[in-house]
Every structure is written in structure tokens, then in C-alpha cells.
Amino acid sequence: MKLSPKIRFTTLIFITLIMVLPVYIYCDAGPKPSDTIAIHGLEGQTYYTTLLSSDKYLGPYSIFDEEYPEEAWYHEGEDDYPIYKKFVDYTPPEGYYFLQFFRNTSQDHRLNWTYFPPNEYKVLIYLPQGERFIVSSEAYSNYAFATRYVATVEGDEIILTKGYKVVKEALSLIGRIILTILVEVGIARLFKIRQKELIRLIVVVNIVTQILLNVLLNFTSFYLGKLLAIVLLFLLEMVVFIIEATIYGFTFKRLSQGEIKGGKGILYALAANSASLLVGIILAFILPGMF
């Protein structure tokens, strides 16, 4: 089987990328579990937000200990000390604690707790004008690796709703699958695979494998995080390659009436899956629905 220099060069590039990308991902520290609270209802007002944790100690965070004032996160004379003191002096609901972390959320109306976030908590907001506190009556917990809530402030109540937009993310997932299939069909053209029967086979096989692949990655990313999903992406792509190489190796010669040998089908499966893996990693940071 003779392959053109263009095909050999393209295949070499894809294989090189597969070897390099894991090194980059390994060197990256990766995302951490996080809580993001988008706040509605206090536009135009100055306010500070924190989460009251059900734990007294959590990673680097802890309650203020009067016996060790030197370990306080803020000290007298610092800009945010007066606000910090208000939170420290606040009497939280029973079983919940202020862990000395808070943010001025007046501008972006968003609290991001990106390192050791509480697992169970109540939202507490302080408004300096009127020296008023608002606390959620309900307790909330993390439901994903990167938990997002929308907090709606109505009078003296804070109500949280899950912040994921299912329809938007489902459409992004469909877009990812379609783009991946287009890439693999494009690689088939590069390999001069143009028979309708073979293109139809490639499309059907990719629809099945990509749906299974993306659903598994979606669940992994949602519950365990993006980094683990990317690692799993490499492993699953290897499984997909074995499946597709087996199918193409046995069927290309028969469907093309001997024009295309089985070995070319296996090489195509390698190049196509390398390309789709690269596209998948790029799209993981562009399409929010998948990761």
C-alpha cells in the first residue's frame, strides 16, 4: 500500500500532537472544585458576600480564634478590616460558621470560592448601608465539581437555584459531536476515501462512538472535574480507535470492492481519531456544554 507524502506527513503531525499534549496536561495543575454564586437583586448597592460553612475548619480556612488573634486573616488598619470585623461579630445560624473568607461583590455580583469550598453552606450578605445582614434560610450543597448557583435576593431572603443551562449545554454537546464527525469525514477525503458506502459507514460509526464518548466525558466532567475528563478522553479515544480500526480494517476492502485495503482503513482510523482528539481538547475550552 503506497501513501502520498501528504498523507504520511499529516499522520506524523497527528501522532506527534498525541505524544506532546499529555505532557502539557500533566504539567498543568488543573482545575479545582469550586463554588460560583451569581447574585441578582442587589444591583446598584454595595455589599459583601460569604458562605457560612457547616465545618469549622476547611483546608486553609478556619473560624476566628480569639486566643490566636495573630492568625486572623485581617488586622486593624487594613482596608477591609471593618467589613471583616462585621462578619466575625455576626452570630450565624446554629451549626454554621464564618471561615474568614468574603468578597466585595458589588461590581461583578459574583462570589467565586475556588479553593476548598464548603460542601454545605448558607449564603450570607452584608450591606454596609444600614449595616444589614441577609442570610439564606435554606442550606445548600455542592452538586457538581464546579458548582454554580444563581442567588436571588428578595427582601430579607436569599433563594438559590442551580445555574447550569441544560438546553444551551445540550446544544453545545450536539455541536461538538457534529464538528468531530466533520473532521473525521474530512480526514477520509484526505485519504482519498470517497465511496458513498464508506463515507456512510464512517458517519454511522462516528455517530455511535461520539455519542457514547461525549456522554461519558460529560458525566465525568460534571462530577469529577475537567482535568479527569481530559485524561479519560485519551483513554476512551484509544478504545474508540481499536473499535473503528477493527470495523474499517474488515469492511473497507469489501465495501470498496477491493479498491481500498484493510491496512489503509486502520491507518485512517489512527489519523482520524488523532485529529478528533486534538479537536476535542480545543473544543473542551470553547464549548461549555461538554466540559
Q: Where in the sequence is the domain holding 89, given as residue range(s)?
A: 34-162
Q: Is residue 290 part of a domain?
A: no
Q: How many CA atoms lie within 13 A of 148 on its CB side?
A: 7
**Same domain, yes or no: 74 and 91:** yes
**Same domain, yes or no: 172 and 158:** no
Identify the band that residue 52 occupies on the pLDDT scale cut at 50, 70 and 90: very high
Q: Is residue 223 part of a domain?
A: yes
Q: Is residue 180 part of a domain?
A: yes
pLDDT digits 0-9 by tens, 137-181? 999 998 888 889 999 999 999 999 987 666 776 777 788 778 888
Residue ending a domain, among 125, 142, 162, is 162
**Same domain, yes or no: 176 and 234:** yes
- The number of folded domains in the chain is 2
Q: 5 to each of 11, 94, 264, how far by Cα in Å?
A: 10, 72, 14
pLDDT digits 0-9 by tens, 145-155? 888 999 999 99
Q: How far apart are CA 73 and CA 61, in angstroms?
A: 9
Residue with cell 454554621: 96
> Residue 193's closest CA among 147, 124, 261, 134?
261
List all residues 6 or more positions away from 228 whose beta carbon is below 8 Å from its beta carbon.
Answer: 220, 221
**Same domain, yes or no: 63 and 137:** yes
User: Is residue 29's pLDDT more than 60?
Assistant: no
**Same domain, yes or no: 102 and 133:** yes
**Same domain, yes or no: 169 and 278:** yes
Name the helix (H) or strand (E) containing 281.
helix 262-284
Q: Is residue 273 part of a domain?
A: yes
**Same domain, yes or no: 143 and 193:** no
pLDDT score recorded for residue 6: 46
pLDDT digits 0-9 by tens, 182-241? 998 999 999 988 888 899 999 999 888 888 887 887 777 767 766 777 778 788 888 989
Q: Is residue 81 part of a domain?
A: yes
**Same domain, yes or no: 122 and 177:** no
Q: Is residue 291 part of a domain?
A: no
**Same domain, yes or no: 158 and 171:** no
Q: How far apart are CA 64 and CA 221, in angstroms?
A: 35
